[in-house]
Amino acid sequence: MPILDEKLGDIYDEVLRRNPGEDEFHQAVREVLDSLGPVVAKHPEYTDAAVIRRLCEPERQIIFRVPWVDDSGAVRINRGFRVEFNSALGPYKGGLRFHPTVYLGIVKFLGFEQIFKNSLTGMPIGGGKGGSDFDPKGRSDGEVMRFCQAFMTELYRHIGEHTDVPAGDIGVGGREIGYLFGQYKRITNRYESGVLTGKGLTWGGSQVRTEATGYGTVFFVEEMLKVRGDSFDGKKVVVSGSGNVAIYAAEKVRQLGGTVIACSDSNGYVVDEHGIDLDLLKEVKEKRRARISTYAETRSGARYVEGGSVWDVPCDIALPCATQNELNGRDAAVLIDNGCAIVAEGANMPCTPDAVRLFAEAGVLFAPGKAANAGGVATSALEMQQNASRDSWSFDHTERRLADIMHGIHDRCLEAADRYGKPGNYLAGANIAGFIQVADAMLALGVI
Ligand code: NDP
């Protein structure tokens, strides 16, 4: 790890002390602080007004009990979270994650990342995140509905279109957002479309929201390639995961002339040298909610590998789109040996610090999640705009807006990296550009 300057080192020590056992949160804070040395050297006003210290402390953290009844009649108890991290730029905005690994440290890491990501989009949204340790896998629709209703029965008091606007994340897709919105509407007796994003197209949702995170990641990479006079044409791409982000990243890669030859889930991965068949992948994962092994059972020529690492498959471009810390130093070394030239994070913090360091040393271009996957939240903000004006835009128009936003984020990262002496470093550029906009707003709003 690089050595932090004294002021930033003190802040990091305080974060460790005040938030014990929250490893992912520590990691996310450290990654941002590592980039801020040149910024605090040039702008002492940020440390003088304790802007970074304040940024590291969520404005509000809500933890609640979620009791619900399963199909056998047994009462189940889960834990719900909403961390409202920073509202200097707008209402808190960030997804809900339903996964058994969710605890406060995960929600805080995601909420912290979200502040900078949302800032990078240039849209008026603050940062927050939430979720539960509920595992939707293997649960019936009825169980998922009752859980979502119980979750919203507490959450509704804390959210609103001008306060806090949740969306989906791992384990929370269109089905869950529907049940959550239904319960919010029932309790409040208000059709407040702007309170949640990721809604269905017939009840206030936006075109392209489903595709946005994956498409946006690929638009970002397209810009990275363009700067170097290159394109996706003929490139071999490996995507990890096979959920929302992975599927639509794969779809956009194919549209731009690349071939996605492998994807995964938490049990294993499939390799399909002819290119992943997206209709089949959607059928298996979105409709049947089955395992990725089912893909290989159905598609001739595809190979399933139980366990192992999808990063062993040689590729030109790697898009980690599954979960945090899924690509470690060992995986990075294999990718580098195999000639991989670009890694862009579709997921949040999927690369470990070791992996990121190895990519930098080897000259592999690296796009951090807070920049590369910001297309999801940006399109959520477009959904809020449409809701506020009771309008509904076409797919093509919304996709063009998304592409423009991603190109803007790409350029903002490069400009900030240049300005602070880290030319070409997307990680430093994303952290610096995301930070400065929030920090300036916090200075303007006073000590609150
Ligand atoms: P989904 O629940 O739709 O999909 C997650 C996918 O990742 C599943 O295929 C899951 O497999 C797989 N996965 C989970 N853990 C592992 C693991 N340890 N190894 C391999 N695969 C694994 O979630 P999303 O696609 O929505 O989210 C993926 C990532 O993108 C997350 O980091 C999320 O925070 C981030 N993100 C999502 C946005 C969105 O708009 N949805 C916006 C910005 C970021 P399995 O079914 O086996 O669990």
DSSP per residue, 235-251: -EEEE---SHHHHHHHH
Ligand 1 pocket residues where CB is under 6 Å: 168-171, 213, 240-246, 264-267, 321-323, 326, 346-348, 373, 376
Range list for CATH 3.40.50.10860 in the chain: 60-191
Nearest atom in ligand 1 to 323's CA? 32
Please tell me the predicted confidence (pLDDT) of residue 6: 85
Q: Which of 286, 279, 251 is nearest to 265 (CA)?
A: 286
Q: Which atom of ligand 1 is nearest to the CA of 324?
A: 32
CB distance 411 to 122 below 8 Å: no
Q: How far is CA 443 from the centre of its chain?
A: 27
How far apart are the C-alpha atoms of 65 and 43, rounded to whole Å? 43
As its CATH architecture, domain 212-363 has: 3-Layer(aba) Sandwich (3.40)
- Told to judge if 252 belongs to the known catalytic residues of this protein, a careful annotator would answer no
Cα separations (Å) of 396 from 149, 206, 279, 305, 393?
34, 12, 21, 38, 8
**Distance (Å) from CA 99 to ligand 1 centroid:** 10
Catalytic residue among 129, 199, 285, 422: 129
- How much is the pLDDT for 360? 97
Task: Say whether 380 sits in a helix, a strand or coil.
Answer: helix
SS3 (DSSP) at 160: strand
In the block, residue with structure tokens 């705009």: 385
Model pLDDT for residues 171-230, shown as the tens digit of each residue: 999 999 999 999 999 999 999 999 999 999 999 999 999 999 999 999 999 999 999 999
- Give every residue of the chain whose pLDDT is below 50, as ranges: none
Q: String of b and e for 177-199 (b: at least 16 CB within 10 Å)?
A: bbbbbebbbeeeeeebbbbbbbb
Q: Distance (Å, rounded) from C-alpha 24 to C-alpha 110?
A: 9
Task: Supply the pTM of this predicted model.
Answer: 0.97
CA 170 to centroid of ligand 1, rounded, Å:
5
> What is the DSSP secondary structure assignment for residue 64, as one 8-state letter?
E
Name residue 264's beta-bridge partners: 269
CA of 243 to the centre of ligand 1 (A): 6
In this prediction, residue 198 carries a pLDDT of: 98
Confidence at residue 3, expressed as pLDDT on a 0 to 100 scale: 81
How far is CA 34 from its chain centroid?
20
The pLDDT score that the predictor gives to residue 1 is: 73
Domain with CATH 3.40.50.720 in the chain: 212-363
Candidates 106, 112, 219, 244: which one to mutate for ligand 1, based on the most atoms within 8 Å of Cβ? Answer: 244
Ligand 1 atom closest to the CA of 173, numbered from 1: 3
Q: How far is the CA of 181 from the centre of ligand 1 (A)?
A: 22
Dihedral over Cα of 122, 123, 124, 127: its sign = negative
- The fold for domain 60-191 equals Rossmann fold (3.40.50)
Q: DSSP strand E in 253-302: where?
A: 259-264, 268-271
Write the pLDDT tens digit of every residue in 217-272: 999 999 999 999 999 999 999 999 999 999 999 999 999 999 999 999 999 999 99
Residue 240 contacts residue 427 (beta carbons within 8 Å): no
Q: What are phi and psi of 38, to 5 degrees?
A: -65, -25
Residue 237 has which token pair?
A: 């791409």
